[in-house]
Chain A
Amino acid sequence: MNLTILVILLIGLVASAVVCVALSDLLKAAIALAITSAILSIIMFLMGAPLAAVFELSVCAGMITVVFISACSMSRIYTRKEHEQRQKARNRRFLLLPALLVALAVVVFLVLSPHITGVSPIPSGGSGSGVQAALWGSRQVDLIGQIILILTGVYGVIVFFKEKEADGK
């Protein structure tokens, strides 16, 4: 397992996040978010968390993108002039971001470097799923919480996504 691969992936992660946030077209931003999720998923797989990687990929890169793109379809269609104005204002705002990030990275690295000792071995990908099952044995309370949450989500969807009826209830 090579350290450089992970570093490249990390840089890719941050870069796609910047792109995702700075793009003016919402559709492309959603795709960039999906790419970010994919890279994160690969990182997780390489670090020895295959189950989490699968979840991240299917749920985030898949479902969330669907949600966003369907939400994006509601954007107002701006006139050309308005569009150009908004582009300019937007780009001015986001110009600062990459520079800020690089500076931040350097500062944090300098702060941390005295503490860095060595390189621990990276676990090889694919730790047993048997451990996972044992884990759900000790995380049952969270499961109950998630059940409640899912039910809440169902009602949320019912409340929000139903078209307004004409007082028929």
Chain B
Amino acid sequence: MPLLMIGIPLLAVILLNLGPRRWISKQTALYTALAATALQMALAAYMCFTVGIGSVSSIRFVEKLSVDLFSAVTLFTIGLVAMISLLVSRDASEGSRFSFFNLLLLIVAGMNGLVMVTDVFSLYVFMETVSAASFVLIAINKRGQELAGAFKYYMLSAVATVLMLTAICFLFLCAGSTGFAEVAACVSAKGNSPTLIAAFLLFTSGLMIKCGMVPFHTWVPDAYSNAPAPVSVLLGGIVTKVSGVYVLMRVYRDVFLNNAAVGNVLFALGIVSILVGALVAIGQDDFKRMLAYSSISQLGYIVLGVATGSPLGFVGALFHFFNHATFKSLLFVDAAAIETQTGTRSMSHMGGLAKRMPYTGVSSIIAFLSTAGIPPLSGFWSKLLIVIAVWRVSPALAMVALAASILTLAYFLVMQRKVFFGKPTEETREVREAGGNTVLAQVILSAVNILAGLAFPLLLFYLQGIGAL
């Protein structure tokens, strides 16, 4: 079964390339890709319910893939964001769409593999796959800014890779193999030997670069804001999170066994990221750059939740992971819509869009309320869980995290005022609402946000019922 998750996107890629170009129009290609992602979502949801807290291992061809609840939720999220990205690509059209579809399917296949492996080295392999595809996707239209952003991402990613590989070498040294189980056994046996501590620190540093945590975050704004619209949705909504935060959560829980030293480092980096991301976001003029810094801030919350090492913190982090995928993707979709219609990303040149782009306006309000953690939207619940989990460990940090929520509210209010209300400027006088597919994407994501928020208490009771909390 887990093999299907990789197999389906690959199959779609093969289908897309089967005949000469004339056979497969862009319509067909789009629908094939959409079908693949929808199928993935369905399978993932099914697995969520059947797996419970145990795990499903593929026992046939490849015995090293396994899916547990954590992976299943992530798989669902990947499918969701990929589908949204496909919808957006319809309207924000540029050339070379075939390459985009293929690359998107490949990156989905890579991410699926990433969440299902049980071996530290395989993590590296799939992370590189995802990174490679994202470099190409960022620069797919070959404009100067995009290429520069992609190159910067490559540079920092390569350094991160080297750090993580060295850490994997140390783990290999200790455990004689690189599977999760073997390394975890070695960790629980040898605890605090210098080799292991070095491995932890190196690995975490590499991961922090990939996540975009402060102070390794410099590539994030350039890569996010310069990428073409559907790529930004994909990147900001899921790629950085899977190849950064997911790996952190998986490794921290299953391999490092909640090591305290790493936990402290994560606390520090998480809090700093929350603050720096929020503070810098306030001063931004470019819409997408502001969203990029906001992402840095939100990922800080997830890291904070993971750092507590408690099941509550973990569930909070996981839920915030899902929420961030939905509300950040929604914001990027709005940004894409605005960029296509007005031709600019600069907020000081926008204004009065609320009347002319009603769907975009409303959905962006829903998204930002969720980001700032306003009840009853989904963001509120996940932040609440994280703050409670952090409170149990360190009340001071929890207060800071709460205060940062206010900052989040601040920069989003500023954005709303500039972009949607206020007087129309030259660029915005003539715009219409974004195309049908984009609106569909916005509606879907807004609905998910609201429903998730309303349904969350039920989910909490369910989790307590099956003993996960």
Task: Establish whether A and B are touching in the complex (CB under 8 Å).
Answer: yes
A153: interface (CB < 8 Å): yes
Let me know if A155 and B62 touch, CB within 8 A.
Answer: no
In the complex, chain B residues whose CB is within 8 Å of the CB of A169 = 95-96
Let me know if B106 and A151 touch, CB within 8 A.
Answer: yes
If A141-B113, A155-B99, A155-B106 touch, does A148 touch B129 (CB 8 Å cutoff)?
A: yes
In the complex, chain A residues whose CB is within 8 Å of the CB of B253 = none
In the complex, chain A residues whose CB is within 8 Å of the CB of B122 = 141-142, 145
B65: interface (CB < 8 Å): yes
**Stretch from B71-79, B133-141, B158-166, B341-349 that touches the partner:** B133-141
A140: interface (CB < 8 Å): yes
Within 8 A of A (CB), among B108-153: 109-110, 113, 117, 119, 121-122, 125-126, 128-129, 132-133, 135-136, 139-140, 142
Let me know if B142 and A160 touch, CB within 8 A.
Answer: yes
The digit string for A49-85, where 1 denotes a CB below 8 A from any CB of B, is 0000000000000000000000000000000000000
Let me know if B13 and A141 touch, CB within 8 A.
Answer: no
Cα A167 to Cα B95 with chains together (Å): 8
CB distance from B243 to the nearest CB of A (A): 13
Judged by DSSP, the binding face of A is helix
Let me know if B95 and A145 touch, CB within 8 A.
Answer: no
CB distance from B23 to the nearest CB of A (A): 15
CB distance from B67 to the nearest CB of A (A): 13
Judged by DSSP, the binding face of B is helix
Let me know if A145 and B106 touch, CB within 8 A.
Answer: no
A159: interface (CB < 8 Å): yes
CB distance from A64 to the nearest CB of B (A): 14
A146: interface (CB < 8 Å): yes
In the complex, chain B residues whose CB is within 8 Å of the CB of A151 = 13, 102, 106
Across the two chains, which residue of chain B brings its CB closest to A153?
B132
Let me know if B132 and A156 touch, CB within 8 A.
Answer: yes
B6: interface (CB < 8 Å): yes
Let me know if A152 and B121 touch, CB within 8 A.
Answer: no
B242: interface (CB < 8 Å): no
A122: interface (CB < 8 Å): no
* 13 further A-B pairs in the complex, CB-CB below 8 A; given A145-B126, A155-B106, A156-B136: A141-B64, A141-B122, A142-B122, A145-B128, A148-B106, A149-B110, A149-B132, A152-B110, A152-B136, A155-B99, A155-B103, A159-B139, A159-B140
